[in-house]
Structures are given as structure tokens and as C-alpha cells.
């Protein structure tokens, strides 16, 4: 039996959108926690998943390593009594770093994040993909989603027991929600805008093709119906700033010029995919 359903959720409403007085719990730059309203959204999402019939509920949870995503995953993990697996392939999208400004931040390992979130299981799963700290242009972040999914789906079926890999919940960021949805559907220009804690849902439409890309049917795209406040702070690639036909560069983290950009890309041998 292969994976039958994938749920994808964007993190909840961020504290730094409404206040400059916030602290990174992990010490990582650009890693704000959820606002109180974002925590409410995460709880509402958990209540929605708990209300589903048992045969529709997620059986495994994978989260971006950013604090706001782990906060979003936490209530569902507790309600469904599931661990959280940290996956860097679900990380935030940063555009290419501006020259001579260093590198973008990268969250710590699952083991280091477990001190903040005891729901994390750092032993069963190790991240299979790491985006470059040098950033990604629009095409590259779409390629990341496709490369990640082509490896992730067969590998998870190899690593996790049957009862765990049937229905996956991926907790991530707006750009990654969109690129994952486009990869699963096989439609690179699929119109979708991801709001905070909105729900995207795909079912496998065929079991005959070996490839993971383009064989999934969408049941929901960035749906806000489980949330009392509906869709808020939605984002799409049409919102990015373009200069000379390319996405505008972002500055890196101060004093990160000598840090390593490693590991990068796919981290599992081809023979295990």
C-alpha cells in the first residue's frame, strides 16, 4: 500500500506581523513564533483533523524546522497522538542572497529543536533534503519541490510502517505550499494563494505510474473553512518583487559570510528511493 492522501498546511499567523517586540525562541534570525491568533488557528486546525473519521485523519506529520511551523503542528500532533518529523525540504523559501551579504539562516537539527517541542521524534526520520543557504529563484524553488517529492514519497514508504505512511500532513510555508501543490498536480502555473493555516488536500489519482509528480488530484486548495476567521494573510508568487525579469535578491544574515552552506540538496542514496 502506498501513500493515499497528502494534507499540506501553511503555518499560522506570525507574531512579527503585528509586533516588533518579539524574541526568537531558537535564537535563529527570521524565526518568529506565532501570534496568539496563530496559536488559535493551529488549535482550530487540530480540532478539524480530530473531527475527521479515523480513516481520514493524518497518520504521520512532517514539519518545516521553523518555529512557527512546529508550533502549528503541535496541537494536531498532541490531539492525534502522533510524533512530529522535522524535514528541511519543507523549509521557508528565500530568494538568492545579495552579493557579499552572507547566507540565509538555517534552523537546527531535529534533536536541537526537541527541547522546544517534545513532540519531535529525532530518531525515526532524518531530513532528506536541504535547500541552499544561498537562496533560490522562482524556478529553483519549484524544482526543489519536485525533487523532494520524487524522493520523499517512495522513501517514506521504505522507512515508515504501513499504518504510518497512508495519510501525511506536511506543515510548511506559503511558497512551499504552492510549489508542492503544483508538483503534485503536475501544473507549474496552478493558481493558488496560501493563507495562514489554510488546508490543501491531495489524493493519489493513479497507482500505475512510478513518478510522484502529476499523479495527484486536489480536493482542497488553500481552504480556510476549518478556521473561524477564514483566509487571512494569503500569499502567491504574483506578490514577489521582480527586477529585470528576476526575483529581487535578499540580504543574508549578518556575519554569516564564513559559515558553511552544507548539506545541500538530496541526502538519500538513489538506491533507497
Query: Looking at residue 209, what is its pLDDT?
Result: 61
- Distance (Å, rounded) from C-alpha 230 to C-alpha 226? 8
Structural domains in the chain (count):
1
Q: Is the pLDDT of residue 1 over 80?
A: no
As a three-state string, the secondary structure of the chain is CCCCEEEEEECCCEHHHCCCCCCCCCCCCCCCCECHHHHHHHHHHHHHHHHCCHHHCCCEEEECCCHHHHHHHHHHHHHHCCCEEECHHHCCCCCCECCCCCCCCCCCCHHHHCCCCCCECCCCCCCCEECCCCCCCHHHHHHHHHHHHHHHHHHHHHHCCCCCCCEEEEEECHHHHHHHHHHHHCCCCCCCCECCCCEEEEEECCCCCCCCCCCEEEEEEEECCCCCCCCCCCECHHHCCEECCEECCECCCCCCCCCCCCCCEECCCHHHC
pLDDT digits (tens, 9 = 90+) for 150-171: 999 999 988 898 888 899 999 9
The reported pTM is 0.96
- Give the structural domain span for 36: 5-272
The predicted structure's pLDDT at residue 207: 64
- In this structure, what CATH number is given to the domain that contains residue 83? 3.40.50.1240
pLDDT recorded at residue 115: 97
Tell me what pLDDT residue 244 has.
72
Mean pLDDT rounded to a whole number for the chain: 94
Residues 221-228, mean pLDDT to the nearest whole number: 98
> What pLDDT shows up at residue 183?
97
Confidence of residue 112 (pLDDT cuts 50, 70, 90): very high
Task: Quote the pLDDT of residue 270.
Answer: 57
Q: Which of 90-104, 121-135, 199-213 has the lowest mean pLDDT?
A: 199-213
**pLDDT level of residue 269 (50, 70, 90 thresholds):** low
Q: How far apart are CA 76 and CA 228, in angstroms?
A: 17
C-alpha distances out from residue 124 to 95, 137, 161, 202, 238, Å: 31, 32, 11, 25, 38
Length of the chain: 273
Average pLDDT estimate for 5-29: 96
Task: Give pLDDT, residue 208.
Answer: 57
pLDDT at 272 exceeding the cut of 60: no
From CA 214, how far away is CA 232, in angstroms rounded?
Answer: 28
Q: For the segment 258-268, what is each residue's pLDDT rounded down to a tens digit?
A: 899 999 999 98
pLDDT, greater one: 246 or 118: 118
Amino acid at each position: 500500500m502506498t501513500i493515499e492522501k497528502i494534507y499540506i498546511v501553511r503555518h499560522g499567523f506570525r507574531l512579527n506581523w503585528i509586533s516588533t517586540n518579539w524574541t526568537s525562541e531558537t535564537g535563529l534570525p527570521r524565526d518568529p513564533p506565532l501570534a496568539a491568533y496563530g496559536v488559535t488557528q493551529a488549535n482550530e486546525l487540530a480540532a478539524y483533523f480530530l473531527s475527521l473519521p479515523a480513516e481520514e485523519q493524518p497518520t504521520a506529520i512532517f514539519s518545516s524546522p521553523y518555529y512557527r511551523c512546529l508550533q502549528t503542528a503541535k496541537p494536531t500532533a498532541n490531539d492525534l497522538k502522533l510524533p512530529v518529523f522535522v524535514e528541511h525540504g519543507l523549509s521557508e523559501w528565500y530568494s538568492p542572497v545579495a552579493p557579499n551579504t552572507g547566507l540565509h539562516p538555517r534552523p537546527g537539527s531535529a534533536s536541537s529543536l526537541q527541547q522546544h517541542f517534545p513532540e519531535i521524534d529525532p530518531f525515526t526520520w532524518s531530513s532528506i533534503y536541504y535547500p541552499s543557504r544561498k537562496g533560490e529563484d522562482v524556478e529553483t524553488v519549484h524544482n526543489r519541490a519536485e525533487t523532494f517529492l520524487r524522493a520523499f514519497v517512495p522513501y517514506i514508504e521504505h522507512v515508515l510502517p504501513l499504518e504510518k505512511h497512508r495519510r501525511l500532513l506536511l506543515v510548511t510555508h506559503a511558497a512551499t505550499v504552492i510549489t508542492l501543490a503544483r508538483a503534485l498536480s503536475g501544473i507549474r502555473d496552478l493558481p493558488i494563494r496560501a493563507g495562514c493555516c489554510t488546508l490543501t488536500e491531495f489524493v493519489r489519482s493513479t497507482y500505475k505510474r512510478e513518478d510522484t509528480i502529476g499523479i495527484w488530484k486536489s480536493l482542497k486548495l488553500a481552504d480556510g473553512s476549518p478556521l473561524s476567521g477564514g483566509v487571512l494573510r494569503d500569499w502567491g508568487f504574483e506578490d514577489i518583487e521582480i527586477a529585470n525579469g528576476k526575483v529581487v535578491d535578499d540580504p543574508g544574515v549578518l556575519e554569516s559570510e564564513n559559515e558553511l552552506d552544507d548539506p545541500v540538496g538530496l541526502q538519500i542514496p538513489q538506491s533507497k528511493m
